[in-house]
Amino acid sequence: MSDTISFRQQDGIATLSFDNPERRNALGSVELEAIEKALGALDDATRVLLITSSDDRVFCAGADLNQILDGSLDGDRFQSVTNQIAGLSVPTIAVLTGNVFGGGAELALSCDFRLGREDIVMRIPAAAIGLCYPVAGIERLTSRLGVSLARRLLVAAETFSADDMLTLGLVDRILPAAQLRAEAALYAESLLRLAPMAVTSMLTIIRQLEEGALDRKTAAGLANACSESQDVQEGILAQREKRAANFKNR
């Protein structure tokens, strides 16, 4: 990893953490490379990825503007990383420990679930500083949020409070600062108790639908594989016996 990105995997849960508070956790070329290495290092035992920050003030400010402006980093590089996060085979949870700015909002929205602190804000200030947000990012945000909300976030550069974010679906839950990290860990653990084949299959289908590119043959194959799996038999038996299921991902 790097001095500004930490990564660990333990008991089925991977945690990727931003640790560059002096730069508001802006992601430059070094950080993006470290994130890519972490994503590539996810092992077969890992079934959930938490993305968070060691800083309680800022979750992430997105791409490093200094590097964008001096030409040493372009938006496509940042988009490549958010694409990889959005395409992971395991569920991803953004743990918004602090304010969310710029591409940090897109990175969070590339995750499957978002838990945020109750006093944070989100803003993409590209229009306020004269930048057009990268086209691929506009495409992702419009696809995920709808045209109206994407306009508010990008064109109007509105600032959204945590309550706004919850109402608009930008986050799934808001929590007091003292509870956020523990609740995120519990949420990750709850995903571990589910049948992994069913989780990843439905995740794949939902993502295809979101992109407007549902492959019905593939989707049907995934659904059928779950229906015929040992895990579904174990799940039904566990319900009858009123015990926790012991899923094997097969």
pLDDT tens digits for range 172-188: 999 999 999 999 999 99
CATH number of the structural domain 5-191: 3.90.226.10
Distance CA 77, CA 64 (A): 11
The encoded tokens of residue 3 equal 């001095």
The DSSP bridge partners found for residue 8 are: 15
pTM for the whole thing? 0.95
Phi and psi (nearest 5°) for 184? -65, -40
**62 three-class SS:** coil
Please say whether the beta carbons of 42 and 12 come within 8 A. no
Share of residues in the chain with pLDDT > 90 (%): 88
Q: How confident is the model at residue 138 (pLDDT cuts 50, 70, 90)?
A: very high
pLDDT at 99 over 70: yes
Whether 226 has a pLDDT exceeding 80, the answer reads: yes
What is the reported pLDDT for 122? Answer: 98
